[in-house]
A and B are shown apart, each in its own frame.
Chain A
Amino acid sequence: MRETIVAMMQRIATESGKTLDATLAEETPLLQSGLDSLDFAILVARLERELGEDPFAALETPVYPKTLGELTNIYESHFQN
């Protein structure tokens, strides 16, 4: 799951002419990854296309992930159930 997410982040960074933080890791704050707010919006939309569902849309109360690890968890928890 993490590879899928990072690969998509990389694609989006390339398309918008940005550079993804090379040291991107579990604890990397998403806001320092090199992507901006529009890119995150595109990320969840594209992941929905690829994975078939959007975990954020299914959440009762909104969650705002701070790190790559937290973002990955949201996806993993959703698709495990």
Chain B
Amino acid sequence: MAWHRFTHEAFACVEDQAMAIFADDHLEFVSLMLALDGRARRVLLLPSGQHVDRLRSLLQASGIESIVRLRNPGRREMLATTWIDAPSPAAFGRADDQLANTQDCQRDPSHTIETEWVIPTSGTTGEAKLANHTLASLTRTCKTDVTTGNQFRWGSLYSLGSFAGVQVFLQALLSASTLVITEDEQGFGERIKTLVRSGCNALSATASLWRMLLMSDQCDDFKLRQITLGGEICDQGLLDRLAQQFPEARVTQIYASTEAGVGFAVQDKLAGFPSSYLEHCPGGVRLAISEHDTLLISPNDAAIGQWIDSDDLVALQGDRVTFQGRRGGDINVGGKKVLPHIVEAALLSVDGIEMARAYAKQNAFSGQVVAAEVVTACEFVGDSEGIILSAMKACRRLLAPHQVPVAIDLVDSIPISPNGKTLR
């Protein structure tokens, strides 16, 4: 594997340092990643489109205090950190110019270090969970056949500051494919138009985004050869519809655990995965089902018995294993995970609400949405409408949009387990 190393003097200050990358523009983000690889000791990727509180908690969790940026402060000045201004991309070469020549560039072994990449997992607002990776661990499942790779023009609808986004970027880079970069601000319809116009023929996105794409009037013009899905449970209805709309496309479902740093792929256009994967799973991963019906996952080179519990509930039915939701009652809204207790805390902050339970409600567009039920104090029983309104107001104020319940019901009681926890 070869990387091109940028030698601009401005990056001398980052030699062997730990820092974060921040750029709303994906192309700039990619330029910074390439510039820092092999020079910086640790690099934290900060995702775009995030609330400044989340960025702050990610920085705090990683212990990193410096951020490299290419331009434009704006609200980012609110973060109390050291800012390093990188030179404009023209000064050290645009990433897209270099991608075509990647296989010809050699790494200088005496001057490069193994950079540690720190990637935020898809948590909720304020929940900072980080996964540490090296280039080797990130590219474990990347295909490097350049001849095949050259035929693909990849698009990604993921933020580059996420595990999925980085995977698409690295896959495109290592197989010398073209990567079509679109920006969040463009709006979904525009992004699809850009991808279609640029001749994108391979796309990676969550199940919910694929549902949205099927609603687009562009989808008949989209000539896809590779469809990749991940981040959410994918239902058979969606898989069938994708096969119908894009009959020449190969459909790959990726199941990946950011914590474990491994995953596996399913290519048979059926929901879930073959039960034979429990005996032998492609890609050097071992799978098993725990006694509480969750999927256990372990990389092949880990010691025997070293399992990571994914907390994803599964059901074994004949020759198929299907996904049934999250064990802790975690809710997955269009690929974004919501912890019920966060929603419940927001509800409990309302005067008069004594107990709350947030749960997943099935949804045709986003897989799941958040719903909740509450128990009120006796004095408030007469004003049920008022209290529901206050509860919704509190949720909108305290929670991210995807965490807000679509409905809040007033109930007489909420069952609790023997050790005092809300039953899910």
Contacts and interface: CB of A to CB of B under 8 A. Distances in A.
A54 interface: yes
Interface residues of A, number: 25
B363 A45 contact: yes
Interface in A22-36: 29-32, 36
B216 A37 contact: no
B364 A62 contact: yes
B208 interface: yes
Interface stretch (B284-292, B378-386, B400-408): B400-408
A32 B187 CA distance: 9
A56 B241 CA distance: 14
B215 interface: yes
- The dominant DSSP class at the A interface is helix
Interface string B235-272: 10110110000000000000000000000000000000
Interface in B177-229: 188-189, 192, 208-209, 211-212, 214-217
Contacts of A49: 406-407
Interface residues of B, number: 31
A16 interface: yes
Contact of B216 (A40, A42, A66): A66
A45 B369 contact: yes
A66 B188 contact: no
Interface of A: 15-16, 29-32, 36-38, 40-42, 44-46, 49, 54, 56-57, 59, 61-62, 64-66
7 contacts: A29-B189, A31-B215, A38-B334, A40-B365, A41-B366, A56-B365, A62-B211
